[in-house]
Structure formats: C-alpha cells, structure tokens
Structure 1
Amino acid sequence: MNFQNQGIFTRGSQLFAHKLRMFGQGSINVFTIGLGLSIFWIICRLYQKVCLSSLYYFTIERYVQLKLAIGEHFYDIDQIGIKFYSLRFKKWMHLNAQDFLHEFYTGQHGFKIQQLLEFLINSALLESLVVFAIGVIISIVFFTAQGKKTIIKAKIRGADFVRSRNLAKMLKSAKKASKICFGDLLLVKNSERLHILITGTTGTGKTNMLNELLPQIRLHKDRAIIVDTTGAFTDRFFDPKCDKLLNPLEKNSEQWLPWNDCFEAKAPVVSTIIARSLCNRICGSSSLSILVLPVPVVPVIRMCSLSLFFTNGKPPKQIFEAFLALFSILDRHLHSTKSAPLILALIIVFLP
C-alpha cells in the first residue's frame, strides 16, 4: 500500500468510525427518550390504579406478613399484634395482626392493590413496550427534522439544486416566472436577455433547446440574432416576411454589408476601423507589430474595404466576390512570407 492509498484508507476509516460514534450517540438518545416515556406512562397508570393511602396500608401489610412469618415460631398467632397510625381515625391504633390483614383485604385498599398487581402482571409490560416504540419513532422523526433544519440554517450563501417543478412553484409564488421556458424549466423574469450558457457534449440536446427557444421568442414578438454556421436554423425558422438574412451568397439576403454604415465624410475612418477589426479577429490583438509584413496589412485591407464602399449598388454576392478578389491581390503581395497564413485565414473567415 503506497502513501496515497494509505492516506485514503486512513481517511475512510476515520470517517466510518466517526459515523459509528455519531450513530451510537443518536441511538442512546433515542433509547433514553423511549425509556423515559415508558416510565412516565407506567407512573401515570399506577396513579390511576392506586392512591398513596393504599400504598401506605400495603406497606404496613407487608410488615405484618413479615412479623407473622417470624413471630409464629416464638408466639401464638393470636398474641401477635401491630401498632400503626390510622389515616381514617387520625390516631395511633393497636390491632391484632390477623385482624389487620382481614380488614385490609376486605376493604378498598386491598382491592386497589389487587387491581394494581393484575395490571402489572397482565398489561404493564405490553403498554410500556408500545409507548417505548412510539417514543422511539417520535424521537427519530424529531432528530431528523432538526438535522434538516440545522443544515438549512448552516448555509450562508450559494445556490441550491431544486427540481424544475419546485423551481416553477417558487418563481410563480414570487411572481418572477418568465414566459420563456425550456420544457418545464422556467426562466427568471427579466433575465431572458442576460447571458445564458448552454453547454454539453455531442448529442446532449443543445440544438433541441435552441429549437424550443426560438419559437417562443417569435411567439412573444421578440427579436433574436442567430449566427447560423451550418444553415440548420435558417432552413427551419427563416421567414422572409419578418426575418432578415445576412448572407451574400443567399438569394434572400438583405442588401446590406458592413460598409453600408460608412458615409462619405467618414468613410476612410470607418473603413480603417473595419480593417482593424478584421485583423483583430485573426490575430487576437490590435497590435500587428509582432508580425513580419513586407507591406502593411491594415492599410491594404482598408483600401479593399474603402473600395467596396463605392460599390454598394451591386448585389451582395458580387460585392462579396469582389472582396475576396481584392484579398487575392494582398495574397500575391504576401506570397511566400510568414504573413501569408493571415490572409488565408481571413478568406476562410468570410467563406460561408
């Protein structure tokens, strides 16, 4: 057993021993509660069956029986007497031992003692076991509830995992339920336009979630921007009556290009911004000083984009083809240089 496995074994054994100790303490508490309830129940039942005066005379009866058992060896039974304090007459009295026993068993005190003995023999044990079981069950339920409450109180911050049905009830009761949902999972109201990350491996249902989301957006007359690299969403959801398609190679594409936002007074400035954004998309940085370029890339792309500004009257497909043609000019300038892959990457970015 190596050091790592030994540490895992030690940790596991300590946790197991700790759980056993905690279980033992809990079992002792449960047993104590059950036993306490049983004793309390027996005391209450004894109080119903017999009073203190009957127990007082029963104690004297036991003493008389002991005195007769010993005294008969030395005296005549008729000569054995007993002196006691009478609760009825409230004075000390002297009676023959046999007369006391006769009055005790023929009176109410003897009858109550007889009922008590029958209860102890016949039903006391069964009743105590039933009360003990009830006490154990109640204590287990109580300790379990206290444990759950302690866990809830111990939490300081953070999220909880709840079932979608419980979440829906919570949101509806708080009036924070959104009209947008994924299956039976409701979103929080006014959070629809926040960032939502849908992640998972292949086949986990990411596309199905989007297929369920888009019709709801359309139903509530909201708008969405879809970057459809495969064309699957376009084929399924595109409606030429209300949707705008920005793909110069599609016949239903809008007559729009990024350079349409340029106007003649600021065309050089805006075209430079567009040129830099195209380079940033490939290089990941606004600084191109790390590249070894025989000719400046940004000014050439600026020249290409600025020239496209004056060709907005043409269909988008022709403008797109002209854009790629102008890139081919830049490719000839950078042929067989370290910057040649940059132009190839730019062309790949704009291919549908």
Structure 2
Amino acid sequence: MKHNLLNFTRGSQLLGHFGFMFAAGLKGPLIVTGLVAVGTCYWEVRSALSDHQIYLVWMHIYASLYAFMEFDPAKLVNLELLDGERVGLPFSIVREFPPMREAVEAFLTAVKHGLLVSAVLLIPAFVFFWWFAERFGGRSKERKHERGAMLVSLDELEEEIERHNKAFRAEELGHKFGWKWRLASSSALAEAGHYQPAHLAGVSWPWRLEQSHAMLIGTTGTGKTVALTELVAEARERGQRAVIFDLTGAFIEAFYDPARDIILNPVDVRCPLWSVFNDCTTEAEFHAAAEALVPHDGGGSEQFWVLAARMLFVEMCLHLARTGTATNEALARQLMTADLSEVHKLMRGTMADPLTAPEAARMAESIRAVFNANAKVLKLLPSSGPRFSVRDWVKGDCQAGSILFLSARYVDMSISSQLLTLWLDTAMNTLMTLERTQDLRMWFLIDELGALHRLPALEKGLQTARNFGGAIVTGVHAFAKLKEVYGENMAMTLSSLARTKLILATADRETATWCSDFIGHRQVRDMEEGYSYGYNNARDAVSLTPRRQIEPLLLPDQFMNLPRLSAYIKFPDGFPAAPVSLIPRTRGRIAEGFIAREKPLIRPGQGPAATTPQAKPGSKPNDEHPASNDDGAGKPVDLRQLKLDLEGQRRIADEPQDRQEPVPLERRNAGRAAGDLGAETRSVTHLDAGPTLPLAAVQTGEDAPAMGAEQHLSEPGTASDDAGEKDGSKPQARSAANGRQPLTPVEKDLREGAVADPPEKDFGEFEPDM
C-alpha cells in the first residue's frame, strides 16, 4: 500500500509539473499568435473600411450591448450620417439601419480576411517552432560523439572512400602523365596496367592499402570463405598471382587451372616433384627451412630438443648437398631411418657431432625422434614428376595470374601441417628478397591460420611484405587458437599488423571482446535528466547534467549475435567502421579438390592378423662405442615386461627360469599364527637371468646376522649363496621350513593395499627398501 501511495504521489506531481511546464512552453507562442492576429485584423479593417463605416460598427456594438442589457428599446439614439447630419432612431431598429448593416458586413469580411492571413503566417511558424523545440530538446539529451572511433552506414563509408581514392588517384596520375590522364576512362587506365583498388566484401579498399594486410575473424560457417572467394576471383581477373592455403579444396574446385596453377599436396597426384634442396642453396636458407619444419610450441623460449633437431637437419642437408645426394630419399634414409652410428659418421666434424655421439645415445635418439615426428611427411613426397621450386615460382617463373595452392585434407593435417608451413614460409621469405615496389605483386590468402604450425615468416611478412608488393589476408576462428599456436604476445602482434579487419559472427566472448577492441572506443557526452518536486510548485524543476564517458563502439554481444554473412568492416587510416553483408555466389566446379596419389596400403578386411609385437634385438655395437639401444655397457637391454602373479602375490618376469613354486596363503598364515616370524627373506627377480634370487636374509631373533645399509643384487653362485650355505641351509630352504614364502617389496605393497610405483632406475638395478 505504501508503495502504491508513493507511486501515485510521484506520478501526480510529475503530471502536474509536466502540465505546467507544457503550458509555460505554449505561453510564448500563444501570445505571439494573439498579437499577430490582432495586428492583421486591425490592418485589414483599417484598409477595408472608411471612418464612417468604422463609426457605424462601433454604434452597432453599442446597440447590441444595450439590447443585451434589456434596456428601454424605444429610447432614441442619434446616428451621424455620411453627410454629417444626425438622425434619431430607437434602439430596437437601429441595428437594421442599412448603412450600419453594410458597415458590419464589411467589418466581418475584413476580420475574416485578417484571420486567414494570420493563419497563413502563424501555422507554419508554429509548426517550425514545435519542430525546433522538439529537436532542440532531443538533441540536448542525445549522446554526442567527441572523439575516437566512429560507426557509419555502408553508403557513408563508400562515399568517403570514393572521395579519398579520387584525390589520391588524381595526385598519383598527375605526377606521371600531367593533365592528360583525365582524358582516359577508368577502364582504359585499368587495361593499361595502372593501379585499381581491390575490393573486400564488396567495399573498395582505400588507395593502396591492400598491402596493409587484412584479417578475417569469425567462427565456422559465417562467411570468411565467401569473402576470400570474391577476392581470388578479382585477382584472377586482373592477372595477379596468389598463394592460397586451401584446407577444404573449395578454392581448387573453383579456380584451379592445370595450365598455369600449381598444387602442393604431398598426397595429391597433381603435386610436382619438390625437394627442400630445390628451394635451399645456402646455410641460411636451410636454417629458415628448419625453423618452419620443426616449430616450437609458441610459448616462451624454444626448447633444446627443437633447436637440436633443427641443427641436425641443417647439417645433414649441407652434407647431402656437398656429396651430391641431395634428394628426399637420401634425407629420409640417412637421417630419419639410419642407425645412429651411421648418422654419427656422417656428422663427424660438424656442429651436429656432439648431438649424435654414441656416448650420449639416448639424447641423440631423442633429438632424432623430435625431428622425425615433425618431418615424417618428407617420406610421402613424390619421387617423380616435373621439378618445382617455390622460390623460382615467387620470383616470376610462372604465367600471369598463376595461383599456388597449398592444400591438405583435414585427415592429412597431422602429417602435412609442417610441410605446408615450410612452403608458405619459403614463399614469404622469397618475396622479401625481391626488389621493392609499391605495386601489388602477390596475395597470400590463409583461410584458417590456426590450422598451420607457427609461421616464422608471418610476423616479418606482416611487417615488411608491403614494401615488396605482398598483401596477406588471414582467417582466424578464435583468438584462443591463435594464442595456442603463436603465444599471447605474438598473437596480439600479428592481429595488430593486419590493419584491415572484417569481423563476422564469433562464438566465444574472448574473441568477441578482442574484436570489439579492434573496432575501437569513443568518448561521448551524455545528458542526465533529473526531476525535483515538492509541496510548493516553486520547488518543481528539471535539471540536465552533462557526463562524459568512454565506451566501446560495438559491444561483444553484438558480434556474438551477428547472423551469418553479416559483418563489420574497418579500414586503417582513420576510416570509420561500417556494417556489410556478404552475398554468396554459386561457382561452377572446374576441378577436383583432391585426387589421391597412391592407393591405400591395406584395404578394409585385408592385411595380416594382429599379433603380439616381439622385442627387437639390439643393434650391433662398433669397436669404440656401444649401440644406441644398449644399456651403456655394450649389451642389448632385454625389456621384459613384469607381471604380477595374483594368486601367489609375487613379482615375476615373462619367462623366468627355475621359478620357485608359490606357497599357498593358508600355509603362510599357519606359520604366522604359530609365532614363527623369523627367517623372512626378501628376493627380487633378476631380469636377465630369470630366476628369483635372494638379496639378504632378514632374520629376527638372537642369531640374526648384522646387515649393511644397502644390499646389491648378486649373480647366481656368488657370495650371496655361500652365505646361506655356512649355516647349513639355503635361504629358500629356511623359509620353507618356517612355513612361509619370502616376501618381496611388491608383496609388501600388495599386503598393505599400496600400488608400487615403477622404479626410476633401469631394469636390473632394483634396490630393496631398507
């Protein structure tokens, strides 16, 4: 009830306040209206009536008032005629005097005409005043942009870009041709090879800003491929070259021309014969290739294993180049599959010598394993066909409008990603070795940047490729994926270097917030309206208070709720952002997206039956050093798996020799119940010899021998057995006599409910807990 009373009080006070304020607002216009109406009527009356007629009008008014008051109607009134004579007429008939009636009719006509003139003047004036007051009141409260980013309509953005391009075109062509260029049409200038801005999402790029690079941000299915397809079609029409990373095969199906285009896909039949030696001729180039082929995780400093694997690859490539065996097969055979001793012989005297030394066999194998895990795709490259070099293609050994497709299916990305990274990195590095130019020389279109490994040349390309005619357009699904590949700091660097942004719908808030920051912030001034009212109307008031604040131009939720094929575009150099809509176009399929190079090795339902893998024998050691899979003493390590005999609760090997029979639990429990707790032994299975050998006899009682702090494993027939024979019985015999089987450390853990952790030492070096 109290709440309702407060609402009623507030509402009634505000209604009264607004009523008085509205009346106060109308007071001025009403006064002006009255003054104007009176003035026009007076002017019309004075213009239309003579003085005698005005006199008669006044006498008519006088007679009307006399009759209204119901005075004596027979009383005479003196009227002055037009000639000056006076005549007396009673009040009852004076208003019917013909000259007076004519004067009254003329007066009414003049008044009507004056009011009509007033209406013609006042109604537009009043409408204008109303519009002005309403607009002024609205503008006084609306947000005012003071500085920062701006959001405009698409038409406004296109008009601004058109004015900008027209001014720069006139300046550039004027320096080249003077005033004569104005005689040529735009199509003639384009046919002559003069620069024409490209288009992104149907919007023209500002003059020569394609080389400021672009980033397309949006989740799957929002329209990134649609925008890139239009860009490729325009580049093909203008004869511009492009390097396209095509993960789905959509670009190959729509644009592949066998006469001038190249497909680099290690498992595609159309892939030419490519080798790392075709693109690398110096040690620096091999180092650049190694950096792309063996990437690190993108977070922090590069690991030792990655750097060592790169060094091993570079030194092996240099050796093969010097010996004239620079082929993919030789690289795979001598580095990836050869025995470590053979690799060390090839690397002797190089910087990779200590990395492959047999003394550090395990480290060497780890380094090679890191390289093999990243470079395994080298074994899948074709060994025949036309030779191809990415460097030669970038330098111009191709037709106009040629496209280099770097392609891979999703199922092949696990083995192809490193090679695709190497090819793209090589193309970018080669471009930056050419002569500087301000003309657009080549496009780099990467639909899904996160699908590739870290591109070492990408940061350098975004920084300097514009000076060599390179324009890079990347597509990003989510900021988290970019951070995963490049690290947080580098991800921010890459996104800032791509200055043109096309932002489509995003699926996560982090990416949406990231995009909101790209569009920008602005400082605005808001007018806050406040009301005050009281019992006395003098206290009623409305106050407007200005307040400045900085806010994002677009909220993250606006990007998360964008429909597909809708986006916001933002160009550099101070151009405002604007909403755009993408229009997909159906293109004919002119080629297959993927053609397998070889048949599968195993067909479904065929192949050998599954068997238990057998242990591989150790490699043969040389005269100086043990093999890489030795235990360090020249003997192959027999990696027998340990099993637990759950019935007897003993730790045994896969194939033990002379194994003792397990003692039933009932027998051991009976011996423990009899109080015979002595002569309990601990034994461990020797992995090389097979049988379970005692380490020491841990006894309790008066004749318990002293033990050292540590017992070592003894070979069969050594002092360990002799010690047991001195007192006339073997440890196993004494344990059997006591009705109990010796407990191993694993048995103790099982009895106590613990799970034994695997030993950190090598097999055969197990030490008992004391």
Instruction: Return the TM-score normalized by structure 2.
Output: 0.31
Distance change in 2, residues 1:310/1:63 (3 Å): farther
Q: Secondary structure at the match of 1:212?
A: helix
Give the Cα–Cα distance (whole angstroms) in 1 for the partners of residues 321 and 85 of structure 2: 134
User: How far did residue 198 of structure 1 move?
Assistant: 1.8
Distance change in 2, residues 1:309/1:61 (3 Å): farther
Distance change in 2, residues 1:57/1:141 (3 Å): same
The answer to whether 1:344 aligns with 2:369 is no
The answer to whether 1:302 aligns with 2:297 is no
Q: Any conservation in 2 of the 1:276–1:286 contact (CA below 8 Å)? A: no
Identify the match of residue 286 of structure 2 among 242, 247, 271: 271
Further displaced range: 303-312 or 218-227: 303-312
The equivalent of 2:75 in structure 1 is 77
Give the Cα–Cα distance (whole angstroms) in 2 for the partners of residues 298 and 199 of structure 1: 33
Q: Secondary structure at the match of 1:226?
A: strand
Q: Any conservation in 2 of the 1:282–1:345 contact (CA below 8 Å)? A: no
1:3-50 deviations in Å (ceiling 9; x for gaps): xxxxxxxxxxxxxxxxx99x9899779967875785477446524641
Comparing both structures, which one devotes a greater share of its residues to strand? 2
Q: What letter corresponds to residue 210 of structure 2 in structure 1?
A: E
The equivalent of 1:191 in structure 2 is 209
User: How far did residue 162 of structure 1 move?
Assistant: 1.1
Comparing both structures, which one devotes a greater share of its residues to helix? 1
Q: Any conservation in 2 of the 1:248–1:320 contact (CA below 8 Å)? A: no
Give the Cα–Cα distance (whole angstroms) in 2 for the partners of residues 198 and 150 of structure 1: 37
User: How far did residue 212 of structure 1 move?
Assistant: 1.7
The answer to whether 1:156 aligns with 2:147 is yes
Give the Cα–Cα distance (whole angstroms) in 2 for the partners of residues 237 and 106 of structure 1: 100
User: How far did residue 232 of structure 1 move?
Assistant: 3.5
Give the Cα–Cα distance (whole angstroms) in 1 for the partners of residues 56 and 239 of structure 2: 94
Q: What letter corresponds to residue 296 of structure 2 in structure 1?
A: I
User: How far did residue 72 of structure 1 move?
Assistant: 6.0
Give the Cα–Cα distance (whole angstroms) in 1 for the partners of residues 26 and 339 of structure 2: 88
Identify the match of residue 219 of structure 1 among 237, 245, 252: 237
The answer to whether 1:201 aligns with 2:219 is yes
User: How far did residue 197 of structure 1 move?
Assistant: 1.9
Distance change in 2, residues 1:341/1:102 (3 Å): same
Q: Any conservation in 1 of the 2:320–2:331 contact (CA below 8 Å)? A: no
Q: Any conservation in 1 of the 2:309–2:368 contact (CA below 8 Å)? A: no
For residues 95-174 of structure 1, the aligned pairs below 5 Å read 98=89, 106=99, 109-115=103-109, 119=112, 138-139=128-129, 142=132, 154-163=145-154, 165=155, 167-174=157-164
Give the Cα–Cα distance (whole angstroms) in 1 for the partners of residues 232 and 311 of structure 2: 41
Give the Cα–Cα distance (whole angstroms) in 2 for the partners of residues 188 and 152 of structure 1: 29
The equivalent of 1:13 in structure 2 is none
Q: Secondary structure at the match of 1:112?
A: helix
Give the Cα–Cα distance (whole angstroms) in 1 for the partners of residues 339 and 43 of structure 2: 109
Give the Cα–Cα distance (whole angstroms) in 2 for the partners of residues 139 and 308 of structure 1: 90
Give the Cα–Cα distance (whole angstroms) in 2 for the partners of residues 345 and 70 of structure 1: 118
The answer to whether 1:283 aligns with 2:288 is no
Q: Any conservation in 1 of the 2:63–2:95 contact (CA below 8 Å)? A: no
Q: Any conservation in 2 of the 1:81–1:95 contact (CA below 8 Å)? A: yes
Further displaced range: 42-51 or 210-219: 42-51
Q: Any conservation in 1 of the 2:320–2:326 contact (CA below 8 Å)? A: no
Q: Secondary structure at the match of 1:193?
A: helix
- List runs of 5+ in structure 2 lacking aligned partners: 1-14, 170-195, 341-354, 377-414, 421-770
Count of aligned positions: 311
Q: Any conservation in 2 of the 1:49–1:115 contact (CA below 8 Å)? A: no
Q: Secondary structure at the match of 1:209?
A: helix
- List runs of 5+ in structure 1 lacking aligned partners: 1-19
Q: Any conservation in 2 of the 1:272–1:298 contact (CA below 8 Å)? A: yes
User: How far did residue 111 of structure 1 move?
Assistant: 3.8
The equivalent of 1:10 in structure 2 is none
User: How far did residue 217 of structure 1 move?
Assistant: 0.3
For residues 55-70 of structure 1, the aligned pairs below 5 Å read 58-59=57-58, 62=61
Q: What letter corresponds to residue 152 of structure 2 in structure 1?
A: F
User: How far did residue 166 of structure 1 move?
Assistant: 5.1
Q: What letter corresponds to residue 350 of structure 1 in structure 2?
A: Q
Q: Any conservation in 2 of the 1:33–1:139 contact (CA below 8 Å)? A: no
User: How far did residue 350 of structure 1 move?
Assistant: 2.6
User: How far did residue 216 of structure 1 move?
Assistant: 0.7
% same residue:
21
1:264-291 deviations in Å (ceiling 9; x for gaps): xx52x54345434544x323268446x5
Distance change in 2, residues 1:66/1:240 (3 Å): closer
Q: Any conservation in 1 of the 2:198–2:234 contact (CA below 8 Å)? A: yes
Give the Cα–Cα distance (whole angstroms) in 2 for the partners of residues 190 and 242 of structure 1: 27
Q: Any conservation in 1 of the 2:336–2:372 contact (CA below 8 Å)? A: no
For residues 220-239 of structure 1, the aligned pairs below 5 Å read 220-239=238-257
Give the Cα–Cα distance (whole angstroms) in 2 for the partners of residues 345 and 172 of structure 1: 49
Q: Any conservation in 2 of the 1:35–1:132 contact (CA below 8 Å)? A: no
RCO comparison, higher one (Cα < 8 Å, 6+): 2
Q: Secondary structure at the match of 1:51?
A: helix
Q: Any conservation in 2 of the 1:262–1:309 contact (CA below 8 Å)? A: no
Q: CA RMSD in A?
A: 5.8
Distance change in 2, residues 1:254/1:193 (3 Å): farther
User: How far did residue 214 of structure 1 move?
Assistant: 0.6
Distance change in 2, residues 1:334/1:217 (3 Å): farther
